[in-house]
Structure 1
Amino acid sequence: MHVTLFTSLLLLGLSHVIAQPRPEDVAAIKGQCGCHDVTFLYAETFAPDKAYSFKDRYAAKGIEWVFVEEESGPADRPTKVVIQHLLVIGDTLVIKHWREDWLYQNTSLLKFDQSASWKRADITTAQAKGQWTQKVFEVDDSPRYEGSATWIHADGRHYWENTADAPLPRREYTKRTDYNVMRRTNHHEIQPDGYIHEQDNDKIIRSEAGDQLVASEKGLNTYHRIDEKKCQAAKVWWAKNRAYWADVRAVWNEVLTNRKVVAIKGQVKGNVLSRDLDELEKAYQKQPVASEANKQLIHQTIEQYLK
């Protein structure tokens, strides 16, 4: 009897240890942080239709500050890490860029369907064991795509790779109507001087008949760490705007948690959500209000865009 009880307690203790994230996983996730010189490169590589006209290659550069905005769990082994990206243009102009939340052993995913709609999908505890979910959000903190996978640490390499459906990227969503889903295979690999975000993407037209491949493309975003002073403008901007966007994030977390399906309208009265939230931000800067009052205004704004 005593042996059985001791064994049970021991197994419970071991399961608790296993449930904690590996330090090397956390180090890899945070290894994306810093001030970076970024290069964005995309090229279409294949199309099943021989008559398809390949689109021009895309190339862009910028400076981006990537930093941990929030984390929860044990200090040495957090189970949630929120990473924010800010673009710096010309050393002075700052643009709030995308956000990525990393959750350990998460079992609930919001999967993109089509036409700005997402559906809740669960994975089993066994499937999620040891894995990290990357939740990617738009500039207005609305959902984009999510995927779960294991960080791999082998032969001196540290990488995470997953395939997930997503909306059209910002570089194409105002220019293309020949596809409505991008199936992204994202490969994040930490380098000594930064990291790379390699992509193998399929551009798909989704209909009641099923999915049809339009074209495939290769993407390579290279983040090369540079002097932190190059991102000083971003740090100043975030110190000023952080409280407002923390409220936006909190409202979205509440909205997304309570919905099995999320569908977002492209426009409301000729405006788009990102612009309306930016206008609220400007008003907040001129006359700050209490967090709860601010969240109420943000919630009202977001609700207008939910179908």
Structure 2
Amino acid sequence: MKTRFKYGLAALVLLAAAPAFGQTAVDCGKADCTAFNADRAAILGMAGTYRVKFDFRETVAFVPDYEPIEPKRSGGFEAVRVIEDTGRVIRLQHLLVVKDEEDKPFIIKHWRQDWTYEPETVLTYEGPDQWKLTPVPAADRADAWAQTVWQTDDSPRYGGVGQWKHDRGEHRWISGETARPLARRDAIRKPIYDRYVGTNRHALTHAGWVHEQDNAKVGTRGGTLATIVHEVVLNSYVPSTDFDFGAADDYMRKTAGFWAAVRRQWDDVALRDGGIHLMQEAENGSSTGKQLMELADRLAKEEVTLGDAVSRARFLIDGSTKPAAATAGASRG
């Protein structure tokens, strides 16, 4: 496993000229697809099985009445699987593997990252409970990739656009500034900020990869948005097979049809409404999170059929994504 990630300067040259980790080269629709296939190699290189560490550190306050909190650190094991690859679109699903009370592996479907080459739109967070399909100008999407991140129930979290760079012996992607709602680790504290605005960097290392964030935690002060405190985040993924990652693959096999239908439903809502309106909860993230995750667990245990689970999920998503104005109008009627 580790040799897959050992890139020196010589390996960098080979990566730029070779297909993605043994896969056949993909036609990007241009005369030269070398850089495109190097980008694909880097994205696909994030798939694997890992020991993960999450490190969140508030650094400096920008208002006089706020004191940065103590760093938060956690970790565990995670499988990252390619669930779709059409050439210009790659979807990576993260699955946490933990132990239950009986010391048996327990799967927590974690975040998902979708990569789209030269996107015409990207789903961006616009403020409390609202995401918008935002057009990407032609000049910004040339040779660029959008990364859209989704929550545990495949509801939206944030999206950004940037280019992969392959130089200095490094493979890295850096987004523009992107907003996102608070994560549970902050939301449950009910802080004076209500969103993050920051940049993301994904970089492959000699032993795995890292996801780095440079965030401003932002709240409303005097009727306008203001930065409360800065935060740096380092999430590291080091290859490991010291856990039962087969349990993650078994979960995905049993629930793949369900989650594919859920993804399509979220996409349909975004196209229908030009975005997604969805209430967020401190404990669960999206208001649909707990129920959708429970449906998937019941399906994995064969307590419900795929058709029934999908039908319930579609009904839940449709009923939870009505824009506020439409909901208010319906209640007045």
| TM > 0.5 fold call | yes
Indicate whether 1:287 and 2:304 are aligned: yes
Return the letter of the residue paired with 1:182.
Answer: Y
- Range 220-229 or range 293-302, more displaced: 293-302
Provide the residue aligned with 2:88 in structure 1.
79
Provide the residue aligned with 2:148 in structure 1.
135
Distance 2:213 2:30 in 1: 35
Distance 1:215 1:276 in 2: 34
Q: SS of the counterpart of 1:251?
A: helix
Indicate whether 1:165 and 2:179 are aligned: yes
Q: Within 5 Å, which residues of 2 pair with 1:140-159?
A: 140-159=153-172
Whether the 8 Å CA contact 1:35–1:65 is kept in 2: the answer is: yes
Indicate whether 1:205 and 2:219 are aligned: yes
Q: Within 5 Å, which residues of 2 pair with 1:2-13?
A: none
Return the letter of the residue paired with 2:71.
Answer: R
1:56-88 CA-to-partner distances (Å, cap 9, x unmatched) read 21000110001101111xxxxx10000000001
1:243-284 CA-to-partner distances (Å, cap 9, x unmatched) read 2111111211211122224211247xx993111112333454
Return the letter of the residue paired with 1:36.
Answer: Y
> So what's the TM-score if we normalise by structure 2?
0.80
Q: Which runs of 5+ in 1 are unaligned?
A: 1-12, 73-77
The change in CA–CA distance for 1:224 and 1:110 in structure 2 (over 3 A counts) is: same
Q: SS of the counterpart of 1:98?
A: strand
**TM-aligned CA deviation for residue 102 of structure 1:** 0.2
> So what's the TM-score if we normalise by structure 1?
0.86
**TM-aligned CA deviation for residue 176 of structure 1:** 2.6
Please provide the CA RMSD for this pair: 2.4
Return the letter of the residue paired with 1:137.
Answer: W
Return the letter of the residue paired with 1:286.
Answer: E
Provide the residue aligned with 1:176 in structure 2.
190
Count of residue pairs the alignment pairs up: 286
The change in CA–CA distance for 1:189 and 1:289 in structure 2 (over 3 A counts) is: closer
Indicate whether 1:277 and 2:277 are aligned: no
- Range 203-212 or range 152-161, more displaced: 203-212
Return the letter of the residue paired with 2:232.
Answer: K
Q: Which runs of 5+ in 2 are unaligned?
A: 1-26, 323-333
Q: Within 5 Å, which residues of 2 pair with 1:89-104?
A: 89-90=98-99, 92-104=105-117
Pick aligned residue for 1:63 from 63, 67, 77? 77
Distance 2:188 2:28 in 1: 52
Return the letter of the residue paired with 2:149.
Answer: V
Pick aligned residue for 1:122 from 116, 126, 135? 135
Return the letter of the residue paired with 1:83.
Answer: L
Return the letter of the residue paired with 2:150.
Answer: F
Whether the 8 Å CA contact 1:204–1:215 is kept in 2: the answer is: yes
Q: SS of the counterpart of 1:113?
A: strand
Whether the 8 Å CA contact 1:114–1:206 is kept in 2: the answer is: no
Provide the residue aligned with 1:4 in structure 2.
none
The change in CA–CA distance for 1:264 and 1:20 in structure 2 (over 3 A counts) is: farther
Whether the 8 Å CA contact 2:219–2:226 is kept in 1: the answer is: yes
Distance 1:25 1:286 in 2: 41
Indicate whether 1:226 and 2:243 are aligned: no
**TM-aligned CA deviation for residue 200 of structure 1:** 0.8
Indicate whether 1:49 and 2:57 are aligned: no
- Range 150-159 or range 203-212, more displaced: 203-212
- Range 152-161 or range 276-285, more displaced: 276-285
Indicate whether 1:247 and 2:257 are aligned: no
Return the letter of the residue paired with 2:279.
Answer: K
Q: SS of the counterpart of 2:279?
A: coil
Provide the residue aligned with 2:315 in structure 1.
300
- Range 13-22 or range 122-131, more displaced: 13-22
Return the letter of the residue paired with 1:221.
Answer: N
Distance 2:205 2:28 in 1: 33
Distance 2:120 2:264 in 1: 20
Pick aligned residue for 2:124 from 96, 104, 111? 111
Distance 1:213 1:14 in 2: 40
Whether the 8 Å CA contact 1:111–1:146 is kept in 2: the answer is: yes
Provide the residue aligned with 1:189 in structure 2.
203
